[in-house]
Structure 1
Amino acid sequence: MRSTTTGTARLTKTHKLSAAGITVAMGAAAVAMAVTPGQAAETPSIAVKPVAWTTTDLGAHHHITQQAKTTAADATAAKVKADAAAKAKADKARADQQAASRSQARTPVKPATPAKPAPAKPAPAAPVKKAYADNLDGWIKESLDILKSKNIPATYEGIKRNIMRESTGNPRAINDWDINAANGVPSKGLLQIIDPTFKAYHVEGTSWDPYDPVANITASCNYAADKYGSMDNVNSAY
Structure 2
Amino acid sequence: MPAKGKHRRPTSRRLVRGFVAAGTGGAALALPLFGVTTAGAAQPAQAATVQAAGTAPVAAKKAPVTYTVVAGDSLSKIAEEQSVSGGWKKLYNDNRRNIGADPALIRPGLKLTIGAKAAPADRAADAGRADRSAARPAAAKKAPAAKPATAKKYSNDLDGWIKESLDIMAKHGIPGTYEGIHRNIMRESSGNPLAINNWDINAQNGTPSKGLLQVIDPTFRAYHVPGTPFDSYDPVANITAACNYAAARYGSIDNVNGPY
TM-score scaled to structure 1, two decimals?
0.52
In structure 1, what is the equivalent of residue 253 of structure 2? 231
Aligned residue identity for 1:59: P
How far apart, CA to CA, are the structure 2 residues paired with 1:104 and 1:116?
A: 30
Q: Secondary structure of the equivalent of 2:214? A: coil
Higher strand share: 2
Match of 2:239 among 210, 217, 223: 217
Structure 2: any 5+ residue segments left out of the alignment? Answer: 1-19, 23-28, 50-59, 67-112
Matched, 1:104 2:119: yes
The residue that corresponds to 1:207 in the other structure is 229
Tell me the matched-pair count. Answer: 169
> Residues 97, 190 of structure 1: CA spacing in aligned structure 2 closer, same or farther, 3 A cutoff?
same
Confirm whether residue 144 of structure 1 aligns to residue 166 of structure 2: yes
Separation in 2, partners of 1:174, 1:189? 6
Offset from partner CA, 1:101-144 (integer Å, 9 cap, x none) = 99334565545468763322234555554432210011112223
The 2-side partners of 1:233 and 1:59 are apart by 147
Structure with the greater alpha carbon radius of gyration: 1
- Tell me, what secondary structure is at the counterpart of 1:59? strand
Identity %: 56
CA–CA separation in structure 2 for the residues paired with 1:58 and 1:227: 150
Q: 1:54 to 1:193 in 2, by over 3 A?
A: same
Question: Cα–Cα, structure 1 residues 126 and 186, in superposed 2: closer, same or farther, change >3 Å?
Answer: same
Give the structure-2-normalised TM-score.
0.48
When residues 168 and 96 of structure 1 are mapped into structure 2, their CA distance, relative to the original with a 3 A threshold, is same
1:196 is aligned to 218
| Partner deviation per Cα, 1:2-38 (whole Å, 9 max, x = no partner) | xxxxxxxxxxxxxxxxxxxxxxxxxxxxxxxxxxxxx
Match of 1:86 in 2: none
The match for 2:32 is 59
The letter of the residue matching 2:243 is: C
Q: How does 1:38-53 map to 2 (within 5 A)?
A: none
